[in-house]
């Protein structure tokens, strides 16, 4: 080997050793991102197994959940511990090494949250192994970034987070002609049909123009009867007649909304998801929820197939 090649080899080895010694004893990883979701929802997503399994990457992990309650991703094993206040400890296991990490949750606004995922790698006071741990830290940083992307995609999609696409919209129907009555549970659907028939006759008699879809609010009473409020948006109002009156709703008011298509009574699951959304985002209920009947299709039984848009007035 020529002398210059030997000198170059020695210099490269010396440089390699020098670089190794410049690497600190502790390699700190801290990845941060902002999420368009509430801190309340994010805490639940990180603390409850059913939600973790919802956002955890599926590729390459089928039938391989890891030891105990651990989850596997790219040959790393992750164990989520108990949520305490605004943080949750996460153990990361790789080839016998256990790294202690933490996910921090910081509320920015009611619907914006910062998430930070940090952990520390301890090096071995050895130039060659220090370089190994440096590259390991770089690899782990990219893996944590990928997991943060998974969390972001999950919590920012209400269909994934709550099971339904939930939105906040502004009220567009200002005047609603309404009819209030109480019906026995067994007579609910007959009275529902009769109520709309009665209102349509009233609207026709008073030459009102219909401006929106049929609306319904049902509320169970203690004596196994049901309070029924039916509504039809109209261009203006007329004098009250019997149990028919009008209601003027605040134009532009906020509404939490969701769609339901299926068995009529299953809409209760959608209302429950909307209530969770309202709680997560620290909204207040302004009044009772109601539903609009798409295509004005009135249900005639609990098992009727319907398409509804559900509304929850909030502020």
Average pLDDT for 282-288: 93
Q: Sorting pLDDT into bands at 50, 70 and 90, what band is 97?
A: confident
- Assigned token pair, 244: 């028919």
Q: Convert the pLDDT of each residue in 132-148 to its tens digit.
A: 888 888 999 999 999 99
Q: Whose structure tokens read 């039916």?
A: 230
| E strand or H helix at 71 | strand 71-73
SS3 (DSSP) at 237: coil
Q: Is the pLDDT of residue 299 over 50?
A: yes
pTM of the model: 0.87
- Assigned token pair, 163: 């099971």
Taking each helix axis from N to C end, the angle separating 39-47 and 267-280, rounded to the nearest 10 degrees, works out to 110
Residue 63, pLDDT score: 42
Residue 285, pLDDT score: 94
Rounded to an integer, what distance in angstroms lies between the CA atom of residue 239 and that of residue 259?
33
Residue 15, pLDDT score: 46
Q: Convert the pLDDT of each residue in 192-234 to its tens digit.
A: 999 999 999 999 999 999 999 999 999 999 888 999 999 999 9
Lowest mean pLDDT among 55-64, 80-89, 109-118, 192-201: 55-64
Q: Whose structure tokens read 């893996």?
A: 143
Q: Sorting pLDDT into bands at 50, 70 and 90, what band is 10?
A: very low
Distances (CA, A) of 52 to 23, 46, 48, 260, 280: 35, 6, 6, 26, 17
Which structural domains are found in the chain, ordered by start?
23-156 (3.30.530.20), 166-314 (3.20.80.10)
SS3 (DSSP) at 239: coil
SS3 (DSSP) at 311: strand
Distances (CA, A) of 139 to 24, 76, 121, 132, 142: 17, 11, 12, 11, 5
Q: Is the pLDDT of residue 12 over 80?
A: no
Residue 96, pLDDT score: 76
Rounded to an integer, what distance in angstroms lies between the CA atom of residue 118 and that of residue 203?
64
Rounded to an integer, what distance in angstroms lies between the CA atom of residue 172 and that of residue 315?
16
Lowest mean pLDDT among 122-131, 289-298, 304-313: 122-131
The DSSP code for 58 is -
Q: Convert the pLDDT of each residue in 220-269 to its tens digit.
A: 998 889 999 999 999 999 999 999 999 988 777 899 999 999 999 999 99
């Amino acid at each position: 080997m020529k002398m210059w090649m030997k000198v170059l080899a020695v210099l490269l080895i010396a440089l390699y050793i020098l670089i190794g010694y410049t690497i600190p004893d502790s390699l700190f990883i801290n990845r941060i991102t902002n999420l368009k979701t509430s801190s309340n929802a994010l805490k639940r997503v990180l603390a409850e197994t059913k939600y973790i399994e919802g956002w955890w990457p599926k590729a390459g992990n089928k039938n391989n959940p890891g030891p105990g309650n651990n989850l596997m991703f790219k040959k790393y094993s992750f164990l989520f511990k108990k949520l305490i206040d605004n943080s949750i400890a996460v153990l990361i296991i790789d080839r016998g090494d256990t790294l202690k990490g933490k996910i921090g949750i910081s509320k920015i606004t009611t619907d914006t949250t910062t998430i930070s995922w940090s952990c520390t790698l301890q090096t071995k006071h050895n130039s060659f192994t220090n370089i190994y741990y440096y590259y390991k830290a770089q690899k782990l940083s990219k893996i944590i970034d990928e997991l943060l992307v998974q969390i972001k995609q999950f919590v920012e999609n209400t269909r994934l987070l709550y099971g339904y696409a939930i939105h906040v919209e502004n009220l567009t129907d200002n005047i609603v002609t309404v009819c209030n009555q109480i019906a026995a549970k067994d007579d609910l659907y007959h009275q529902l049909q009769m109520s709309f028939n009665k209102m349509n006759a009233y609207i026709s008699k008073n030459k009102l123009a219909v401006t929106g879809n049929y609306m319904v609010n049902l509320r169970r009473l203690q004596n196994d009867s049901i309070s029924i409020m039916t509504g039809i948006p109209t261009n203006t109002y007329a004098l009250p007649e019997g149990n028919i009156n009008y209601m003027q709703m605040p134009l532009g008011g906020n509404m939490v909304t969701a769609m339901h298509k299926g068995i009529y009574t299953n809409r209760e699951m959608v209302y429950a998801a909307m209530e969770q959304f309202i709680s997560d985002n620290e909204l207040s209920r302004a009044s009772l929820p109601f539903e609009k009947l798409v295509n004005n299709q009135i249900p005639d039984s609990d098992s009727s197939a319907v398409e509804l848009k559900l509304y929850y007035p909030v502020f």
